[in-house]
Amino acid sequence: MKELENNIKKIKDSCLKELKKARSLESLEEIRVAYLGRSGALTEIMSTLKTLSLEQKRTLGPDLNELKKQLHDAYESRVSEFEKKNLSSDALFDVTAYKPHQMHGSLHIYTHIIEQLTEIFISMGYTIADGPEMETEYYNFTTLNIPDDHPARDSHDTFWLSQPDRLLRTHTSSVQAHSMEQATPPLAIFAPGRCYRNEATDASHDFMFTQGEGLFVDTNVSMSQLLATARTFLQHFFGKEDLKIRVRPGYFPFVEPGVEIDGSCPFCSDGCSVCKHTKWIELLGAGLVHPNVLRANGIDPEKYSGFAFGFGIERLAMIKYGINDIRLFHSAHIPFLQQFA
């Protein structure tokens, strides 16, 4: 009897001690099974009760029941301590509150603008064309009706490469011949791309810039189609349905007649700093494709005619977004770039 009582005390002490030491819900459960489970230490002792005398059962029985309850309560309270702790640490851990400092990547202003432009031209039935930035004299000049001795070559401050007959294209008009070689009319292409000119930089000139080139070749193409296309494009680009265009004579060797197209200022009706108080902004170079250019590319000028236009993509973006320095475009100036994120 004495031994039994000792055992009971040992079980009680070690169970309480283990419960106190437990560091996880799993180990609490193991302790519960070891002491209070179906073949746990306390359960086994209780099953020996039936071998005792009635007198012994009367004293030990209630004690054992009391102990079982006590151990169970101790177990429960440890479990709820753990649960509370977990709950409260979850409550303190607000996943939305943790915001490490991160630099977000975003599309570059170039990408935004070129997407806007291509979307407009695709909606007008154009396909997007591409050409190499490293060009030959032939594609950049000769096929565009700018022969060797033509003074227009001097006005394009060209970056000549060390390889003979290789240069960095000075305009996207070089894509015209590539496109005409590859397709038969009707042909409608829009070619955005990077160009290079070996000139001093300032707020509106850069040695590297982007142009957009449009070319349309079909039978009976007229100046009125060019003007309607230019106006529709500019109205969409500036989001201004009532934008008007005005045409002045212009000279580009690859078009005849050649024109400069101005747009009415998208920001004012009576003069502002953007249009330098003239109400008009010079936007496109354009004209009807010169017969020599068609002929050089295997297209019969008696049968087909075409129009072409070109513009500085940065220039249009600068006007649209009020950007005052073209050099910002490839400056990696984060505050500038973030404005277009």
- Of 16 and 208, the one with the shorter C-beta distance to ligand PHE is 208
Give the shortest CB-310-to-ligand PHE separation in angstroms: 3
User: Which tokens is 288 given?
Assistant: 């009807």
Buried (b) or exposed (e) across 200-228, using 16+ Cβ within 10 A? eeeeeebebbbbbbbbbbeeebeeebbbe
Site string for ligand PHE, 166-205 (x = CB under 6 A): -----x-x--------------------------------
When asked if residue 11 is in the footprint of ligand PHE (CB under 6 A), the reply is: no
Output the DSSP codes for 32-101: HHHHHSTTSHHHHHHHGGGGS-HHHHHHHHHHHHHHHHHHHHHHHHHHHHHHHHHHHHHHH--GGG----
- Of 32 and 290, the one with the shorter C-beta distance to ligand PHE is 290
Give the shortest CB-175-to-ligand PHE separation in angstroms: 10
Site string for ligand PHE, 223-252 (x = CB under 6 A): -----------------------------x
Q: Which stretch binds ligand PHE (CB under 6 A): 120-128, 297-305, 306-314, 329-337?
A: 306-314
Give the shortest CB-131-to-ligand PHE separation in angstroms: 13
d(CA 229, CA 117): 13
- Of 196 and 329, the one with the shorter C-beta distance to ligand PHE is 196
The pairing of strands 187-196 and 127-128 is: parallel
- Of 263 and 287, the one with the shorter C-beta distance to ligand PHE is 287
d(CA 102, CA 220): 57
Residue 141 amino acid letter: F
When asked if residue 131 is in the footprint of ligand PHE (CB under 6 A), the reply is: no
Query: DSSP 3-state assignment of 340?
Result: coil
User: Which tokens is 20 given?
Assistant: 């106190």
Give the shortest CB-211-to-ligand PHE separation in angstroms: 6
d(CA 316, CA 240): 14
d(CA 276, CA 196): 27
- Of 145 and 264, the one with the shorter C-beta distance to ligand PHE is 145
H helices within the chain, ranges in order?
Answer: 2-21, 25-36, 41-47, 54-92, 109-123, 137-140, 152-155, 174-182, 223-238, 291-296, 313-321, 334-338
Q: Which stretch binds ligand PHE (CB under 6 A): 202-210, 224-232, 239-247, 304-312?
A: 304-312
Residue among 8, 15, 308, 316 that touches ligand PHE (CB under 6 A): 308
- Of 78 and 171, the one with the shorter C-beta distance to ligand PHE is 171
Cis, bond preceding 186 (omega within 30 deg of 0)? yes
Residue among 140, 309, 314, 315 that touches ligand PHE (CB under 6 A): 309
Q: Which stretch binds ligand PHE (CB under 6 A): 85-93, 201-209, 234-242, 283-291?
A: 283-291
Residue ranges that bind ligand PHE, judged by CB under 6 A: 171, 173, 213, 252, 255, 285-287, 308-310
